[in-house]
Amino acid sequence: MESFGARLHRAVTERGPLCVGIDPHPGLLARWGLSDDVRGLDRFSRTVVEALGDRVAVVKPQSAFFERFGSQGVGILESTIRQLRDAGSLVLLDVKRGDIGSTVAAYAAAYLDPSSPLYVDAVTASPYLGVGSLAPMFELAAAHGGGVFVLALTSNPEGAAVQRAVTADGRTVAQTVIDEISQLNRGAEPLGSFGLVVGATIGDTGHDLSGVNGPLLAPGLGAQGGTAAGLRTVFGSSLPSVLPSYSREVLHAGPDTAALRAAAERVLADCRAALTGA
Ligand SMILES: O=c1ccn([C@@H]2O[C@H](COP(=O)(O)O)[C@@H](O)[C@H]2O)c(=O)[nH]1
């Protein structure tokens, strides 16, 4: 079974370092001339898949925007996941799950077991019940070639108070998360399957990401004020592991598929330049 890290490495090599989110905000549905209901949600998601599914390395549906329509919305999420897989992009479900270990095992079964209707390539997870509580997710991901991206230093301003608090051993909470994920990726080639979420908005915080050996998902670009040029300040020598993530910045260009593709190409060019220094 090929690992998620290896599959991600290949996707980024072939398609470029870019993740685009599917975030059907009510305002975006209106901007696209769509109704704020399941029909609008379905049209929105299909349009993004049609425009980007065959060219972007990773697509990240934001589960919240599907869940708000109940079971029908979750049904559309399931079909969006299938369409993305058929189109060839990796699917990272942004669902930020976390709980006691026995419940995490059920979340793992929901998203990382190939027999589940919501099976995806990778999920986002919250470490605030302890990184160890996520072990069932890490185990199922490893067994089936999946990935898990754990929140470390999030893009929102409120995150710092918790994530940068200093623990008894002098490390920040975020650094303890970073170090535990680094352990999981030890020796993995070409890239570990366990990633971290580090916002593109946070500036230079002095955290040590050098040992992660896994993907660093960088949301916060565009609408939240982060810039491709600023990635160097946030990630320093870890830039080659960064997977930049945009949602509204690209989605604002829709519903025209050519315009969505052009927006994705523009941000990808910015990111390539920022990540390679070219
Ligand atoms: O630290 C984080 C973690 C996750 N997100 C999610 O990414 C997208 C960002 O959307 P934009 O429109 O590009 O701002 C969204 O789904 C967030 O829930 C994040 O922003 N920051």
For the chain, the domains span: 4-276
Question: Quick check: CB of 53 below 6 Å from ligand 1?
Answer: no
Closest atom of ligand 1 to 223 CA is: 14
Residue spans of beta strands (DSSP E) within 104-260: 122-125, 147-153, 194-198, 216-218, 242-246
Complex ipTM more than 0.95, yes or no: yes
- 96 carries an active-site annotation: yes
- Banded model confidence at residue 278, pLDDT cuts 50, 70, 90: low
4-276 CATH fold: TIM Barrel (3.20.20)
Average pLDDT over residues 247-264: 98
d(CA 117, CA 233): 40
pLDDT at 55 over 80: yes
> Whose Cα sits closest to atom 16 in ligand 1?
62
Mean pLDDT, residues 249-267 taken together: 98
Tell me the pLDDT band of 39, cut-offs 50, 70 and 90: very high
Mean pLDDT for 118-141 is 98
Amino acid (1-letter code) at residue 200? A
Q: Is the CB of 224 under 6 A from ligand 1?
A: yes
CB of 42 sitting under 6 A from ligand 1: no
Give 155's contacts (C-beta < 8 A, 6+ positions apart).
Answer: 199, 200, 201, 202, 219, 220, 224, 226
Q: Is a pLDDT exceeding 70 seen at residue 257?
A: yes
Q: For 61-70, what is the mean pLDDT?
A: 98
Q: Which of 7, 2, 8, 3 is nearest to 215 (CA)?
A: 8
3-state secondary structure of 121: coil
Nearest residue by C-alpha to atom 11 in ligand 1: 247
How far is residue 237's CA from residue 90's CA, in Å, rounded to a whole number?
A: 26
Q: Which of 96, 164, 171, 248 is catalytic?
A: 96
Please report the pLDDT score of residue 49 as a whole number: 98
Q: CA distances (Å), 104 to each of 99, 125, 139, 155, 168, in order?
A: 6, 10, 11, 24, 27
Which pLDDT value is given to residue 204?
Answer: 96
CA of 161 to the centre of ligand 1 (A): 18
Distance 168 CA to ligand 1 centre (A): 30
CA of 103 to the centre of ligand 1 (A): 25
What would you report as the CA-atom Rg of the chain, rounded to the nearest whole angstrom? 18
pLDDT at 34 over 80: yes
Gap from CA of 169 to ligand 1 centroid (Å)? 30
Q: How confident is the model at residue 125 (pLDDT cuts 50, 70, 90)?
A: very high
Work out the percent of the chain whose per-residue pLDDT is above 90: 99
Across the chain, mean pLDDT equals: 97
State mean pLDDT over 173-184.
Answer: 98
**Banded model confidence at residue 277, pLDDT cuts 50, 70, 90:** confident
Q: Quick check: 259 pLDDT over 80?
A: yes
